[in-house]
Amino acid sequence: KLSDLHLVLTQERPKPDRVWGCYLDLLNFLGFQKLPVEIHRAVLRHCTPPASELRVAALRHMPGVRRVRGTHHHEGRFQAIIRNMRSSGSTPSLDDYHFILEQFAAVGYHEGVMQVLGEVSRLSLPKTQKTYGLCLQALCHRLTLPCWFETRPSLVAEVTRSCLELLEEMRSENMPLTSLNVGLALRILKETSKIDDWAKLLKVAYGIDMSYPDRPPLELWDQAVSGVPNGLVFPDPLPFSTAALNTTIDMLGRSGEISKLIQAFEVLTTPLPSQASNFSPSFDDEDEDDFGVSNPKVAPYRTPYAEPNTMTYQTLLKWISRHGHIALGRHYLLQAIALEKRVLHKLWLDLRHKPMKEIAAPRFAVNRNMLLSVYAEAVRNKNTEILRWVFEKAGQVIKTKRKHLRHSLETCERRRITAQRLLKDEEAPLAASDVEPSSTNNDASFSTFFTPTSTPDEHVAKTVEVPAMPYFDVDLDNPSRSQKLSRPFNIDLHIRLLEEEIEKLWDFYEHAADNLGRISQRVKERLGRRVWKEKDVYMRDERRRVHVGRAKWKDTVHF
């Protein structure tokens, strides 16, 4: 039985049900004999599919009307293995519980992660940032899964209560904050629209006071001058990320704080200079009154900044348009179109002068949802002028994307021809030097083709680039790592995304043309009825209401 279990575990991709069956057979065969703890841990990690596959499979096979309960299918197996570890006289390690937390986070089992965290506390195991990060991931993922609309408020309240408990426990244990944990907590608090708790966490984590986002919070100034009383230490601000920026914009938009939304976007997306470098020493000489420390040099402050991406502008335009600020929507849509032109121009230069591996993937592009936000608000207000303007801008965006698509296809074809030419140049001397080995028996060469090579593993690791797993691929134990990561540019993926977006924009363009034509026709008919009744109408060229004859009206509006 032990050899059967060992044989199954040594396979490259063992089947979870097969592993669990062999494990049960071994337990029934041994009876009261104790197994080594390594066997329990190996079975724990192979009795269920990996978390990445479990999450993808759950989303792929989930119909739109299905309601997820938020439990794990193999929770009983985990409980049995942990119980067997304890009965054998050993204590489960923190890595064992991290594996269970990762599994629960993949399916959004928020109740399970809190129970596992309580068990970790009862065993007095040292918790890390990864422990709390996995719990927050489970809470955040549960809010994205569908549920009955009647139970949605209670679910949000329960998840928010668990999130606040985790944050309070982290504070009591002096656990350092990480960007990932804070970002997840902000997403959870965003669902409850509790802007006070959300703003407090934003101030503590990133050093951003939403009332004055271009100034450091007063707590940082007081701590730099005289320290925080009662032994409390205000932590150093974390680097502000694009994900935190998107969450901030979404939260302010949900709350209806449009003025703060615009203020936060303008300040947090603009790299401000250091306050200490811009401080004028003559200001202190002219100031006669002293109301405390006002010199920014006393409290050095790194202004928060994050680069906006596609989701940033999409969320910004969505909330601005929903609250009826059509002028602001027009302004930021123009800003987004100009930003896309700069991004595409930079990408075009990189494709011409840089190798493919040195090009970073673009993070911004105008999409259909940005145009649709402004367009929908114009339709609600029956603003024909804005409708016509959005229609024209949609045509310009399509033209720009088609031009860039043509350049990308030409670049892809040119690089393919260059690669084929280089490959032929490399194969030519090899074919000339291998004339004698090629005259040997064909069967021998066929057999040696499938024999393992003697290439060292180090050389293989250098020549083969394995992409990192995006799911939970974060070092939660190292909060100090803050280097900027950029995705490598894939020109085939870029071309495919361009083609899909152009198709969506063209559908929107045709729909906008039909809608604009219908609205114009209705306006002509409504004004035509006034003309036929000999009533006055407003003429833009004369800037007043005048009486228009039927013949002149037909020539003017081509009706």
- Residues 449-467, mean pLDDT to the nearest whole number: 36
The answer on pLDDT for 281 being more than 70 is no
At 536, phi and psi to the nearest 5?
Answer: -80, 155
Whole-angstrom distance, CA of residue 296 vs CA of residue 294:
6
At 90-110, the pLDDT tens digits run 889 999 999 999 999 998 889
Q: Rounded to 5, what percent of the chain is helix, strand, coil?
A: 65, 0, 35
Nearest to 186 by CA among 232, 242, 115: 242
Residue 15, SS3 per DSSP? coil
DSSP 538: E
Contact between 363 and 311 (Cβ < 8 Å): no
DSSP 299: S
Q: What is the band of 229 on the pLDDT scale with cuts at 50, 70, 90? A: very low
Percent of the chain with pLDDT over 70: 77
Q: Give the model's pLDDT for residue 59.
A: 65
Least confident window among 19-28, 61-70, 348-357: 61-70
The answer on pLDDT for 130 being more than 50 is yes
**Ordered alpha helix ranges (H), 50-178:** 51-60, 75-87, 94-107, 110-122, 129-144, 152-172
Nearest to 209 by CA among 146, 266, 260: 260
Q: Give the model's pLDDT for residue 132.
A: 94
CB atoms within 10 A of CB 385: 9
The answer on pLDDT for 448 being more than 80 is no
89 to 34, 208, 488, 505: CA distances (angstroms): 9, 50, 49, 64
Whole-angstrom distance, CA of residue 289 vs CA of residue 452:
83
Q: CA-based angle 156:162:164, to the nearest 5?
A: 100
Q: CA-based angle 4:10:15, to the nearest 5?
A: 75
Whole-angstrom distance, CA of residue 290 vs CA of residue 295:
11
Q: How many residues does the chain have?
A: 559
Candidates 1.25.40, 1.10.3470, 3.30.70, 1.10.1740; CATH matching 2-273+299-320: 1.25.40
182 to 140, 239, 242, 271, 441: CA distances (angstroms): 12, 11, 13, 22, 66
At 249-261, the pLDDT tens digits run 999 999 889 999 9
**Position of tokens 């250098």?**
462
Q: Give the model's pLDDT for residue 11.
A: 76
Q: Which residues contact 29 (CB under 8 A, 6 or more apart)?
A: 1
The answer on pLDDT for 553 being more than 60 is yes
User: Which residues, in sequence order, are bridge partners of residue 309?
Assistant: none
* Chain-centre distance for alpha carbon 495: 21
Contact between 177 and 238 (Cβ < 8 Å): yes
Q: Give the model's pLDDT for residue 387.
A: 93
Contact between 2 and 26 (Cβ < 8 Å): yes
Least confident window among 12-16, 84-88, 314-318, 395-399: 12-16
Nearest to 217 by CA among 230, 227, 203, 228: 203
The answer on pLDDT for 433 being more than 80 is no
Q: Give the model's pLDDT for residue 434.
A: 52
Q: What is the band of 28 on the pLDDT scale with cuts at 50, 70, 90? A: confident
Least confident window among 263-267, 279-283, 535-539: 279-283
Q: Give the model's pLDDT for residue 508.
A: 95
What are the residue boundaries of the structural domains of the chain, listed by start?
2-273+299-320, 321-426+487-559
Whole-angstrom distance, CA of residue 247 vs CA of residue 206:
13
- Residues 108-115, mean pLDDT to the nearest whole number: 91
DSSP 203: H
- Residues 54-76, mean pLDDT to the nearest whole number: 66
Please, what is the average pLDDT of the chain? 80
The backbone region for 261, taken as left when phi is positive above 0, alpha when psi lies in -120 to 50, beta otherwise, is alpha
Q: Give the model's pLDDT for residue 501.
A: 95
Q: What is the band of 223 on the pLDDT scale with cuts at 50, 70, 90? A: low
The answer on pLDDT for 390 being more than 90 is yes
The answer on pLDDT for 461 being more than 60 is no
- b/e per residue, 15-39, with b = 16+ CB within 10 A? ebebbbebbeebeeeeeeeebebeb
At 302-323, the pLDDT tens digits run 778 899 999 999 999 999 999 9
The answer on pLDDT for 244 being more than 50 is yes
Q: Which residues contact 14 (CB under 8 A, 6 or more apart)?
A: 8, 46
The answer on pLDDT for 346 being more than 70 is yes
Question: Is the pLDDT higher at 23 or at 65?
Answer: 23
Q: Give the model's pLDDT for residue 61.
A: 52
Whole-angstrom distance, CA of residue 330 vs CA of residue 81:
59
Nearest to 319 by CA among 376, 382, 249: 249
The answer on pLDDT for 49 being more than 50 is yes
Q: What is the band of 63 on the pLDDT scale with cuts at 50, 70, 90? A: very low
- Residues 224-250, mean pLDDT to the nearest whole number: 72
- Residues 404-423, mean pLDDT to the nearest whole number: 86
* Chain-centre distance for alpha carbon 81: 35
* Highest-pLDDT range among 66-80, 424-438, 488-502: 488-502
- Residues 194-198, mean pLDDT to the nearest whole number: 80
Q: Give the model's pLDDT for residue 8.
A: 77
